[in-house]
Structure 1
Amino acid sequence: MNENWTAWPGERFALGEGLRRTGDRLIMVDILTGRLLVVPEDGEPRVLLTLAEPLGAVAPRPGGGWIAAAGTGIAILGDTGIEHWLARPEDGAATPMRMNDGVTDPYGRFWAGSMAYNNAPGAGSLYRADPDGTVTRVLGELTVPNGPAFDADGTTMYLADSARGVIHRFAVDPASGQLGGQTDFAVVEEGSPDGMTVDAEGFLWSAIWGAGQVRRYAPTGELDRVVNVPAVQPTSICVVGDRLVVTSATVGLAAPGALDGAVLSRAL
C-alpha cells in the first residue's frame, strides 16, 4: 500500500542517499555512482556533477561549491568535481573503506562517517571538518555510521550505527565541536536506522532500512510515530514544509519493486 506516497519520475537509484534542503533546492547523492543530483519540484532528478569516487554526502559552502564525504576522505567540490582534498584518512586502511553519510552542524562544521565495503565490525569512524579545513577523527569503532543529525542549537548530535541497530546521542560543545557523554537514544530491532533529520519541534526522524518505514522519535527517545514507506530500503529523509521526502535504494534486492530506489514524498 502506497499510503498516499508519490514518486518522482525517472531513475530508481541503487543507493540514493544524503537528502538535504539547501536554500531553495533539494539535493541528494547516489553513493556508488558518485553522483550529486538536484530533485526538482516537478520532473526527474537532474545530475549536477559526477565523481570518479563514491559520494556519501555533500553540504554547501558559504562561498560556493560543496564540502563532500567522498572516496576515502573529505573534499571540496566545484562545478565539475573535486577541487582539492582536505584529508583522505581512510587511504591505505587494512580493510577497503569509503565515506558514507555526512552533514554540516549549525556552526559550519562538517561531520561524516566512514565504513568498510564489507561492513567489517568496528572498522568505521566519524570525522569532523572544521571551517578552517582541519579534519579530526572524533569517534572510532563504528560499523556503518549514518547521520549525523543535529538539533537546532547544535548542542545535541544523533548518530546511527546502522549495522548495530542503535541511534546514539551525544552532547556537543558548540564552541569547540568536542563531543560529551554518549547515550543510547533508541534501539531498532526490525530493520536498521539509516539517514536522519531533526524537525522544527526537535523530534528525530529516521529512515529504517529493511523495514520499509520512517520513524519519528521524541527528544526523550520515545517512539512517536511510524510511517510505512512503499520501498523496502528507505535511506534518508527530509522534512520540506508540510511534506516528508525520502530516498531509497535497490542495492542488494534480488527483485526490486516498482518504487524501490525511488524518491518518495507524502504529506506529514
Structure 2
Amino acid sequence: MDAAHWQPCSPERHQLGEGARWYEGRLYFVDLLRGVLHSWAPGAGPGGPRCEAEPGVPLGAVAPVAGRPGEWIAAAGPGVALLRPGGEPRWLARPEEGAPRPMRMNDAACDPRGRFWATSMAADATPGAGSLHRVDRDGSPHRVLTGLTVPNGPAFDGAGTTMYLADSARGLIASHAVDPDSGQLGPARPFVRLGPDEGRPDGMTVDDRGFLWVALWGAGRVHCYDPAGGLRESVAVPTPHVSSVAFGGGRMYVTTALHRLAEPDRLAGAVLARPSRVTAPPVARYRPQPR
C-alpha cells in the first residue's frame, strides 16, 4: 500500500506524538516530551487539536476513567496520575521517583478488566533499566517486569488473556498470557523480532479480528500481524518516525514525531489519517473500585 492516501489532521507538528486513542468520536494523543494531552475531532474545521491536560511533566499515554467524564489515568513523569482539565495531577504512584538514574514513564494502556499497565525507561535509554507496572482497580501499584530498555505497548486482545509488549531497542515484541481475574502475567514468549532495517516496534493496538497493528519507528510503516505472528499487511507512512496507531470512525490514525530527525520532512510530527475498513474495540477504561 502506498503512502499517498494519508492526510494530516491539522497543521500542527508535534515533537514526539504518541499514545493515539479513539474515544467517543475524538482522537486523543499526547506530545510526550512537551507533556500535553491533545484531542481532535473529524470535521472540527481549521482549528488545531484541543489541549485536554498539561500536567507539567512528560506524558506517555492515557486512558479514560470509567464513570468520571473528562478524567484520565496517565503514565506521566515518574509514575501514574489522574488528570482533569485545568487541575493538578493526583498521583496514584511514583515508582521511578528517586531512582539511581533519571527515569520517565513511556507508554501505557488499560486491559479489558480495567487495570492500567504502564512502562518506564531511563531518560538516556540505559539498557535494562526499564520496567512494566500495573495499577490495579483499588489503586495499588505493582512492578511486574524488569530488565526492559525502551518498552512500548502494552496491547491486549479482546478477552484480556494475551498481552503484547514491545522492547523497541531490541526490536522484539513478546506476548504474555494474562490471568484476567488477577492480572498475573505468564512468561514472555517471542512473538515478532524485527531486523535492524525494519524499524523499531513502537505503539500497538489490537483490532476486532485479534490482529496486532504495530507502528514502526524509523521505518515509515505500520505492520499488521495475525495471532500466530504472521505478517498480514504492511502500510507505508510518508514520514519515518511512526509512533502509535489507532482506528475509529472509518479511519486509521498514526502519530509521528519530529524527535531525532536532523532534516524533518513536511509531515514529520503530524497526526495522519487515511480511510480504513479495519475496526477495533472501544478503548479500554480504567475502572476504579467504588470507595
TM > 0.5 fold call: yes
**Counterpart secondary structure, 1:113:** strand
Q: What is the rounded CA distance, in whole Å, between the counterparts of 1:80 and 1:138 in structure 2?
A: 32
Q: What's the counterpart of residue 113 of structure 1? A: 119
AA partner of residue 50 (structure 2):
R
- C-alpha deviations, 1:74-110, integer Å up to 9, x for none? 0111222434211101011111000011001100000
Which of 176, 186, 192 aligns to 1:180? It is 186
Please state if 1:200 is matched with 2:204.
no
TM-score by length of 2: 0.90
Q: Is 1:103 aligned to residue 104 of structure 2?
A: no
Give the TM-score normalised by the residue count of structure 1.
0.97
User: For 1:238, which of 231, 246, 252 is the aligned residue?
Assistant: 246
Say whether the 8 Å CA contact 2:3–2:235 is kept in structure 1.
no
Alignment partner, residue 22 of structure 1: 23
Matched, 1:157 2:167: no
Richer in strand (by share)? 1
Kindly state the Cα deviation for residue 207 of structure 1 after the two structures are TM-superposed.
0.2
What does residue 249 of structure 1 align with? 257
Deviations 1:128-179 (A, max 9, x none): 0111100100000000010100000100000000000000100000000000
Q: Alpha carbons of 1:261 and 1:83: their partners in 2 closer, same or farther (altered >3 Å)?
A: closer
Code of the residue aligned with 1:3 in structure 2: it is A
Residue 216 (structure 1) aligns with:
224
- Aligned residue pairs: how many? 268
**Does the Cα contact within 8 Å between 1:234 and 1:246 map onto a contact in 2?**
yes
Residues in 2 aligned to 1:120 and 1:185: alpha-carbon distance in whole angstroms: 24
The 2-side partners of 1:236 and 1:178 are apart by 26
Taking the aligned partners of 1:203 and 1:180, their CA distance within structure 2 comes to 20
Which residue, out of 251, 256, 266, partners 1:258? Answer: 266
Distance in 1 (alpha carbons) for counterparts of 2:87 and 2:156:
27
Shift of 1:241: 4.3
**Distance in 1 separating the partners of 2:40 and 2:190:** 33
Q: CA RMSD in A?
A: 1.1
Distance 1:123 1:81 in 2: 31
Aligned equivalents of 2:149, 2:87: Cα separation in 1: 28
Contact kept in structure 1, 2:18 and 2:60, CA below 8 Å: yes
Per the alignment, residue 4 of structure 1 pairs with 5
Contact 2:53 2:83 survives alignment (8 Å): no
Change (3 A) 1:148 1:171: same
Determine the C-alpha separation between the residues in 2 that align with 1:22 and 1:160.
23
Gaps of 5+ in 2: 277-291
Q: Which has the higher contact order (CA 8 A, sep 6+)?
A: 2
SS at match of 1:48: strand
1:136 and 2:142 matched: yes
Say if 2:57 is the partner of 1:56.
no
Counterpart for residue 279 of structure 2 = none
In 2, the alpha carbon distance for the partners of 1:216 and 1:167 equals: 13
2:66 maps to amino acid = P
Gaps of 5+ in 1: none
Deviates more, 1:147-156 or 1:39-48: 39-48
Query: Conserved in 2, the CA contact under 8 Å of 1:76 and 1:83?
Result: yes
Paired with 1:138 and 1:5, the residues of 2 have a C-alpha distance of: 38
